[in-house]
Structure formats: C-alpha cells, structure tokens
Structure 1
Amino acid sequence: MSWILILTLAAIVFFNRYVFLEPNVPLKIPGIINKALKYSAPCLLTAICGPIILMDHGVVREFPMNPYFLGAVVSVIIALLIRNIVSAVLLSLGVFYLINHFMG
C-alpha cells in the first residue's frame, strides 16, 4: 500500500513539474498568477523560519535574550550589506553559532 502511495505521489509531482517546465506544452500562466507566485518563496521561508525563531516547544521565547531572533536580525543585516548568498549564509551561520554559544 505504501509503495502505491509513494509511486502515485511521485507521478503527480512529476506531472505537475513536467506541465509547467516543458517548453513544448502550450500552457501559459496568467500574468496575475505569475506575479503572485513570485511571493511564494519568501512566504514559505517566513512560514518555516518564523516559528523556529519566535517559539520554543510551543512557548514564545524571551526577546531580550533570544539568540535565534538576534541571529535572524544579524543575518538580514549581513545579507543586505554583502549581497553574496554563499558568503552571507556562511557568515550568518558563524555569527549565529557564536551568539548561541555565548547566550545559550
């Protein structure tokens, strides 16, 4: 049963990606939907990172001593200043681990 479910889900994912990525398929997304899809990645990242940064086991973390919040703020500042994804991620990870080590 689980193999059938896995193969069915794999076929659905493949079909969805094939339809939108194959250039020979005459499917055009309307402009309003294409514009709205540009916001999907930031919304998804916010939905994933928000609870990690703000909560700890279902309880809101303290803000003055929250290393995750401070690390997120520093990461945003680093990303705005550096404008290089790999360097910003590596530097942000290093700063977060230092903050977490000294505050945790």
Structure 2
Amino acid sequence: MTLITILLLACITFLTRYLFLHPKLGLRIGPKMGSFLSLSAPAVLTAIWVPIIFVKDNNLDMSLTNPYLLAASVAVVVSKKTNSIYFTLAASVSAFILLRVFL
C-alpha cells in the first residue's frame, strides 16, 4: 500500500510540473496565480523551520537556553551583516554546535 501511495504521489508531482513546463502544451499561469504561487516557497520553508526552532517537547521554548533559537539568532545577525550564505552557514552551525556542548 505504501509503495502504491508513493508511486501515485510521484505521478501527480510529475504531471503537475510537466503541464506547466512543457512548451507545446500551452498551459500558462496568469499573473495573479503566479504572484500567489511565488509565496508558496517561503510559506513552506517557514512551516519547516518554525517548529524546529521554537517547539521542544510539544511546548513553546523561547528561553535563552534554547540552542536552536540562539543559533538562528546568530544566523539572522550574520546574514544581515555579511550577506554571505557560506559565512552565515558556517557561523550558525558553529554557534549551534558550541551552544549544544556548553548549554
């Protein structure tokens, strides 16, 4: 049953992308729908990172001993200051590892 579900989801994903990417089909998204869909990636990413950073044991954890929150804060500050994705990644991962060791 799981294999059938995975195959069906793969087919649905392929078909929905193929319909919009194949040039001969002529199916185009309108400007309003394109604008609406441009917000889907940030929404999905936010739905992924917010529970990771703020939720611990099904409770909201905004304490100063939360290494996820502190490392995310480091990432925000470093990304604003340096505008370098690589330096931001290195600094935030290093901060997270150090915070996990010392907190």
Q: Smaller-chain TM-score range?
A: 0.7 to 0.9
Q: CA deviation digits over 1:11-42, x for unaligned, max 9?
A: 11111111122222211111112112222122
The Cα RMSD (Å) is 1.8
When structure 1 is superposed on structure 2, of 30-39 and 85-94 the one drifting more is: 85-94
Question: Taking CA–CA contacts closer than 8 Å with sequence separation of 6 or more, which of the two structures ends up with the larger relative contact order?
Answer: 1
1:62 positional shift: 4.3
Q: What's the counterpart of residue 67 of structure 1?
A: 67
Q: What's the counterpart of residue 25 of structure 2?
A: 25
1:59 positional shift: 1.4
The answer to whether the 8 A contact 2:62-2:69 is kept is no
Q: What's the counterpart of residue 9 of structure 2?
A: 9
Structure 2 SS opposite 1:15: helix
Distance 2:86 2:27 in 1: 35
Identity among equivalent positions (%) equals: 37
For normalisation by structure 1, the TM-score amounts to: 0.82
Equivalent residue letter for 2:86: V
* Distance change in 2, residues 1:65/1:13 (3 Å): same
**What stretches of structure 1 of length at least 5 have no aligned partner?**
none
Distance 1:100 1:47 in 2: 23
When structure 1 is superposed on structure 2, of 61-70 and 13-22 the one drifting more is: 61-70
**What stretches of structure 2 of length at least 5 have no aligned partner?**
none
Q: CA deviation digits over 1:46-91, x for unaligned, max 9?
A: 1111111111110122422221111111111122222232332232
